[in-house]
């Protein structure tokens, strides 16, 4: 392992907005009722105007306000690390670099956007943020950011995680957030779900609906989302912008850029600044890695669909398994999403980024090898990127090529040790949806506008 | 928060051995049978000769072998951070700096010595290391280090932790260690304990005895200890040596140096390089913080005593609560030790370091304030140092003095979230041993040689 640090003074001062450089324009988001392209006012009940402007901006460089820079310096710049131990174990001529986002207090890349979102909301007089969280990565990041700027944070946490994963809950509580198990009695939608099924253990779809309802109903409250949206991907580009400076220090440029994808933000954060180079003619390959259990990019449909199960969000143009698709209970909870960021979907559709899908057990094999050779125990989500990098390094070995591989290690696995327990006890299973499962999910997009 | 990084090239190339600078000589360790001063041969069954030499060395600077430097670069140099958020919350004119050791893969300072110990053992042809662990911090660090140098590691883990804290167990397994719940069937002593009490949930004393027996009985195996011994403290001085370089970059010198103490190694690691300056006339105050529940330095006796319950170790001159003392079950498991490093005991006895004791709840109050203002969730052990720093900062405020405070944040609390759960649920208790409890424990030193 060889670390390349960047000084705080060299932290990027602007984000990179790929919308300015796309060869073709993505399809616009549509109003769920009228099916007309969405205007800024349609989003105003949920987001502050600064974020709505970023969501729709075509400006290439968007300056990072000073207080956000200060907040990010809590843990940024994050290290770039050359995985010399892994290279050696693989006997590959490839050089493997990774950007390590697990250094943040919440343990992942999520605070990169949480801090920005909290700041812009505070600037516009918002007092309180509502959000959902599955296993708790995003909720704890927003709790941290709320603490930083003096905003109240209400987290609707999927009930099964609320019960089974108390540690992330304690973390959020530690950072002053109010947490409720979803479905909850705190919203009309939650009460409706509980009235129909008091034993409902929740889902991300239900939690999103509760958080949106909370924000829409209260004047002092806005809604906050941890992935998928353009402004979220924008905030994450600081990862790739730092990586470019650090790769320059290392004296290498990547041939292959790799990241795991759930909603798409950590992948885009690393990849988009490099994708700009590819659009301008550079020869770089991009690999987006998803779980075979939730194969949005590799087996989904490119279509207009809802971002949530309850059909409350705008319709967005993306790869989707259908908003009714229930992904199997793999340990990489952050990758269990039926849809995909519209921006990332667009560049996959355009052939700029190649999707790959891997199975749960082979991903944990990769995680175990990585933790033994590099010392860092990765989050199950991030381990998908590791598996992608290992495969690329083995291809390089077989081809006898000195490729430079760069991947995003989006978070550590300190709160996922029960998954490692299951892996070592050989209790992990590979889930693969059947064609029928997928067809049934995707059929939920029938009747929605075409792309 | 303001971070001061050091480049890998500026990582110290030697450790600092305080034995070379002590104004008075510490009492020598004694053979448990003969009560005569210990010679190198007495330790040879347990440790490789290089470590025994370091244990007894008077050489001021001991070079760090290149492969250990390489191993340490997995996470070192660790950041020095100015706690600007905490300063602001306390409205103190003091500057508060901390060295953050939670960046290691195991999450604490322990790998600093584990990597060194594994290397020296490997150099001398040792194939396997045996050790004990309570909650698992040390065991996971040695597992990591064993992995690094190709040594087998056998960890005797206190049974109650083995059962209740599965995550550290998975971490050790991940790094290839063999773990057994202690008391175990794997040693004579373990079988004896189990024969007498099949339900015995173990103790650190029993686990130490099992690991020592394992190492003593097998030619291919040595024993490894994570604190207390001179060579362990020596390896930890890299913390303070880095801190000195970083404080120079920051343009400050500490007036007060603070650390928590269990066996003494993280405190000594930060403090000893500065204690050298004090011995040479500098005006620096040193505060060693222990839990009021296990008040070794503040209420213990300075005496010869055994390092373990089963009386298998040499007799060492130290502050002790008696080798039969059972500390109450506080969450700062790493500080639950009846004795204290002989070197640290010596400098406390000489008046160079001042001991303080704090209660569990006030320590968690400090941890909560810190995590809200600095974003890092500290280990309960390290939170004692935070409480010490907060008190010093408040004193500075009351005296209107611009003191510079430096403390060691020895680890993060990601595997201690259940303790935070208990804290927020107001289920934490303050335990304070009665004078009778202490007198009973200390009476175990009666009949041993005097100091």
What pLDDT digit, counting tens, does each position of A131-140 carry?
999 889 999 9
B25: in domain: no
Q: Is the pLDDT of residue B8 over 90?
A: no
Beta carbons within 8 Å of A417's beta carbon, 6+ residues apart: A377, B166, B167, B170, B171
pLDDT, chain A, mean: 95
Q: What is the pLDDT of residue A204?
A: 82
pLDDT for B326 equals: 81
For residue B9, list chain A residues with Cβ-Cβ distance below 8 A.
Answer: none
State the nearest Cα–Cα gap between A59 and chain B, in angstroms: 31
Residue B375 to residue A144, Cβ atoms within 8 A = yes
User: Closest partner residue to A105 among B2, B103, B376, by Cβ?
Assistant: B376
Confidence of residue A339 (pLDDT cuts 50, 70, 90): very high
**Has residue B143 been placed in a domain?**
no
Contact A414 B414 (CB under 8 A): yes
Residue B332 has pLDDT above 90, yes or no: no
pLDDT tens-place string over residues A180-229 = 999 999 999 999 999 999 998 888 888 999 999 999 999 999 999 999 99
Q: What are phi and psi of A128, to 5 degrees?
A: -150, 140
The reported pLDDT for the residue numbered B333 is 83
H/E stretch holding A343 reads helix A342-349
* pLDDT of the residue at A166: 79
Beta-sheet pairing, A221-223 with B128-133: unpaired
- Predicted pLDDT at A135: 80
CB-based contacts of A177, cutoff 8 Å, min separation 6: A139, A140, A142, A143, A146, A153, A154, A155
> Considering the domain boundaries, does residue B183 fall inside one?
no
In terms of DSSP bridges, do strands A80-82 and B14-16 run parallel, antiparallel, or are they unpaired? Answer: unpaired
Interface of B to A at Cβ within 8 Å reads 1-3, 5, 7-8, 73-75, 103, 105, 107, 144, 147-148, 166-167, 169-171, 173-176, 368, 371-372, 374-377, 414-415, 417-418, 420-421, 424
Asked, for residue B398, whether it belongs to a domain, the answer is yes
Confirm whether B406 is domain-assigned. Answer: yes
Closest chain B C-alpha to A414 CA, distance in angstroms: 7
Inter-chain residue contact B417 with A171, CB threshold 8 Å? yes
Q: Is residue B211 part of a domain?
A: no
- For chain A, percent of residues with pLDDT exceeding 90: 84
Q: Does the pLDDT at position B129 exceed 80?
A: yes
Proportion of chain A above pLDDT 70, given as a percent: 100
- Give A75's contacts in chain B (Cβ within 8 Å): 375
Query: Residues B362, B330: contact at Cβ < 8 Å?
Result: no
Rounded to whole angstroms, the Cα distance separating A322 from B375 reads 38
A161 to chain B: which residues are within 8 Å by CB?
A: none
Per-residue HEC secondary structure of A1-43 comes to CEEECCCHHHCCCEEECHHHCCCCCCCCCECCCCCCECCHHHH
Lookup result for tokens 């003091």: B94
What pLDDT is recorded for position A418?
A: 87
Distance from C-alpha of B389 to C-alpha of A155, rounded to nearest angstrom: 33
Tell me what pLDDT residue A324 has: 86
Q: Pick the residue from chain A with its C-alpha nearest to B8.
A: A3
Crossing angle of helices B417-424/A166-174, nearest 10°?
Answer: 60
Number of domains forming the structure of chain B: 1
Read off the pLDDT of each residue in A76-85 and give the average, rounded to a whole number: 95
In a domain, A186, yes or no: no
Question: Residue B1 above 80 pLDDT?
Answer: no
Q: Are A155 and A172 in contact (CB under 8 A)?
A: yes
pLDDT value of residue A202: 87
Range of the domain at B73: 66-107+235-445
Q: Which of B67, B49, B211 is nearest to B131 (CA)?
A: B211
Instruction: Please report the pLDDT score of residue A161 as a whole number.
Output: 85
Contacts of residue B339, Cβ cutoff 8 Å, sequence gap at least 6: B228, B263, B296, B305, B307, B316, B318, B319, B320, B321, B323
ipTM, two decimals: 0.85
Q: What is the mean pLDDT of residues B165-180?
A: 90
Residue A224 lies in a domain: no
Segment of B132-136, B245-249, B429-433 carrying the highest mean pLDDT: B245-249
Q: What percentage of chain B carries pLDDT values higher than 70?
A: 100
Q: What is the pLDDT of residue A446?
A: 93
Residue A279 has pLDDT above 80, yes or no: yes
Write the CATH number for A366. Answer: 3.40.50.1100
């Amino acid at each position: 392992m060889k670390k390349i640090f960047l000084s705080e003074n060299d932290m990027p001062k602007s984000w990179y907005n790929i919308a300015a450089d796309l060869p073709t324009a993505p399809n616009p988001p549509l109003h769920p009722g009228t099916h007309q392209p969405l205007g800024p006012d349609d989003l105003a009940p949920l987001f502050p105007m600064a974020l709505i402007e970023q969501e729709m901006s075509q400006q290439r460089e968007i300056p990072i306000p000073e207080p956000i820079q200060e907040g990010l310096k809590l843990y940024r710049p994050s290290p770039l690390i050359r995985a010399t131990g892994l290279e050696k174990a693989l006997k590959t001529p490839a050089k493997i670099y990774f950007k390590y986002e697990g250094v943040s207090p919440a343990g992942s890349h999520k605070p990169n956007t949480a801090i920005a979102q909290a700041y812009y909301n505070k600037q516009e007089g918002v007092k309180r943020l509502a959000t959902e969280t599955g296993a708790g990565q995003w909720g704890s990041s927003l709790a941290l950011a709320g603490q930083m700027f003096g905003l109240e944070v209400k987290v609707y946490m999927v009930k099964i995680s609320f019960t089974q994963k108390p540690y992330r809950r304690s973390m959020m509580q530690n950072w002053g957030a109010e947490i409720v198990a979803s479905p909850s009695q705190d919203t009309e939608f939650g009460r409706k779900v509980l009235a129909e099924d008091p034993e409902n253990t929740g889902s991300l779809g239900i939690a999103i609906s509760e958080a949106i309802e909370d924000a829409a109903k209260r004047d002092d409250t806005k809604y906050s989302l941890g992935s998928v949206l353009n402004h979220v991907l924008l905030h994450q580009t600081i990862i790739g912008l730092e990586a470019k400076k650090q790769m320059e220090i290392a004296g290498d440029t990547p041939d292959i850029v790799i990241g795991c994808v759930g909603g798409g933000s950590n992948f885009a954060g690393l990849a988009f600044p490099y994708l700009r180079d590819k659009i301008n003619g550079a020869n770089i390959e991009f690999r987006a890695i998803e779980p075979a259990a939730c194969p949005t990019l590799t087996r989904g449909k490119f279509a207009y669909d809802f971002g949530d199960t309850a059909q409350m969000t705008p319709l967005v143009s993306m790869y989707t398994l259908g908003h009714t698709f229930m992904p199997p209970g793999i340990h990489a909870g952050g990758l269990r999403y039926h849809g995909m960021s519209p921006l990332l979907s667009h560049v996959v559709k355009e052939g700029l980024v190649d999707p790959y899908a891997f199975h749960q057990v082979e991903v944990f094999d990769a995680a175990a090898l990585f933790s033994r050779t590099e010392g860092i125990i990765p989050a199950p989500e991030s381990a998908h990127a590791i598996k992608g990098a290992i495969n690329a390094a083995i291809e390089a070995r077989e081809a006898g090529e000195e490729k430079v591989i760069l991947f995003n290690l989006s978070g550590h696995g300190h709160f996922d040790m029960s998954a490692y327990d299951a892996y070592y006890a050989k209790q992990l299973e590979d889930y693969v949806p059947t064609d029928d499962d997928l067809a049934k999910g995707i059929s939920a997009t029938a009747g929605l506008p075409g792309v």
